[in-house]
A and B are shown apart, each in its own frame.
Chain A
């Protein structure tokens, strides 16, 4: 009676890769079903922004036209507001995909429904489940950036001066920027209480967008020194400046190496924070 032998179970390392792939497949599958909302979400903001600021405003006359940012930016050399906005709006699309693909769903999945439970119970370290969120979000960010590019290129009434000098650099910036955005989404999604998720637009999304060198190049802040240094803590700055360096180099931008370094730094920092938060949420 007392001799209780432990059941011999064939020791088999679970296939992390298969579990990870399964999680990606699930997310893709769900996204495919919601493809129209996804496209509307990605395209609406840049579409309206471009339409108003680079098409409607330049067609105005008199005081309104003089006051428009388009007119002022035109004086900066390099091709007008449209050229400033091209990388900026792509950066916003990349960042916003991270929020929409990770932070918002996590809020419900951690909330009342606890839907994430089954995925957390898959044979994969918990960090793997969190990483899948980042990777899936990054993929969405890349698609979003790809959708914004033609909009930002063709809508402005003054020609946009885009010119890719190095494709590998553009690729690196896009991928790193998308990963930073996914990690940011994970950090926000795991640190905000589900009922406060509505607040993140006002408290996080709007400030990091407006202070993210999206609508102006970082160099243009030179006359407001304190702000120029203050915005350096904002990861969006490096995404928009990185795209500026890769796509519209005529505009003036931060040094390439610094941009890549900061993107890697923010990716590491936000991934660490996000995974720590994720673990806290699912393991007590």
Chain B
């Protein structure tokens, strides 16, 4: 990798919504997204992800802090910054009075393309997103997944530097979600930087090069999905449940001294063992636990969910 270049730069971002009971939606966020990266903001609903994206896309004004897209301050020069930004909001904002093709075509024209350029770009995008046969359909006639694809096609029509996707898979069926993931990966191959928000672990894990876990308007941690999962302290998780909770403490002491096991922590009715993946270790653990009345064992690999629970003590799904 040559030198990395920052395309999205967020510094000390704060947003307080006024009113009788002021709400701090974003509480001091700093982040940098490198060109070409697929960056995720992962967190529960109400964590401040959408507000962060709204500010970065010139749709909300921050209380404090700064956002620069391709070096342009979005608060001071919003119209200029919008040239570099593509946005797909959570809801379907397609122009209901225009067809699919016209939605994309007019978007091109707003961004200064001639009508001929706009037409050429539109057919290229319709083709890329496999929408050609729906070109003359109106937005009301599209399924959620198709509308989402049209929105992505429209958002990148002016060749922005960064595409912001706000909860792209909200309301999509599993099949459309996979199609959407494919489309997003395709964008990355074209060199478009993507910033997305999600509260789906699998989505963040599957798609993102790097991600920030956000809660209560603050970034708790940011890294690659692999590094985040590794931070849990093991690459295998064994959940043991015992018949007799009195035996738990004794088993714990025994397990903690076992080689390959990095951490043992009590759970309801048993123990959670974090371990390095090692041949024969599971068999060993099971044999050992059998002596203490093992009732059941389940194994898992650390997920972003595990990371989130460790950081916040809460489940991500409300």
Binding site for B on A (CB under 8 A): 1, 3-9, 12-16, 18-19, 21-23, 25-26, 29-30, 33, 113-126, 128, 282-284
Q: With A7-B35, A9-B161, A113-B96 as known contacts, state yes or no: A118 contacts B84, CB within 8 Å.
A: no
Which residue of chain B lies nearest to A30 when distances are taken between CB atoms in the complex? Answer: B97
CB-nearest residue of chain A to B97 = A30
Q: What are 29 pairs between A and B in contact, CB < 8 Å? A: A1-B4, A3-B3, A4-B34, A5-B3, A7-B35, A8-B71, A12-B83, A14-B111, A14-B112, A15-B112, A18-B110, A18-B112, A19-B111, A22-B110, A26-B95, A33-B97, A115-B93, A117-B89, A122-B111, A123-B80, A123-B110, A124-B79, A124-B110, A125-B79, A128-B79, A282-B59, A283-B59, A283-B61, A284-B61
- In the assembly, what is the distance between CA of A10 and CA of B68, in Å? 15
> A118–B82 contact, CB under 8 A?
no
Q: Name the residue in A5, A15, A115, A128 with the highest tally of chain B Cβ atoms < 10 Å from its Cβ.
A: A115
Q: How far is the CB of B108 from chain A (nearest CB, A)?
A: 8
Q: Say whether, besides A6-B6, A7-B70, A115 and B106 are in contact (CB < 8 Å).
A: no
Judge whether B7 is part of the interface by a CB distance below 8 angstroms: yes
Question: Is residue B102 contacting chain A, with contact meaning CB distance below 8 A?
Answer: yes
Q: Is the CB of A19 within 8 A of B112?
A: yes
**Nearest-Cβ distance from residue B81 to partner chain A, whole angstroms:** 9
Q: How far is the CA of A7 from the CA of B97 in the complex (A)?
A: 38
B107 interfacial by beta-carbon distance below 8 Å: yes
B94 adjacent to chain A (CB < 8 Å): yes
Task: Contact check, B34 vs A123: say whether CB atoms are below 8 A apart.
Answer: no
Instruction: Say yes or no: B71 contacts A6, CB within 8 Å.
Output: yes
A-B complex: 7 closest residue pairs judged by Cβ atoms? A122-B110, A22-B109, A117-B93, A22-B110, A18-B112, A9-B70, A7-B5
Report A-chain residues with C-beta under 8 Å of the C-beta of B61.
283-284
Is the pair B79, A6 in contact by a Cβ cutoff of 8 Å? no
**Chain B residues with CB under 8 A of A14:** 79-80, 82-83, 111-112
* CB of B32 closer than 8 Å to a CB of A: yes
Q: How far is the CA of A15 from the CA of B70 in the complex (A)?
A: 18
Asked if A6 contacts B154 (CB within 8 A), the reply is no
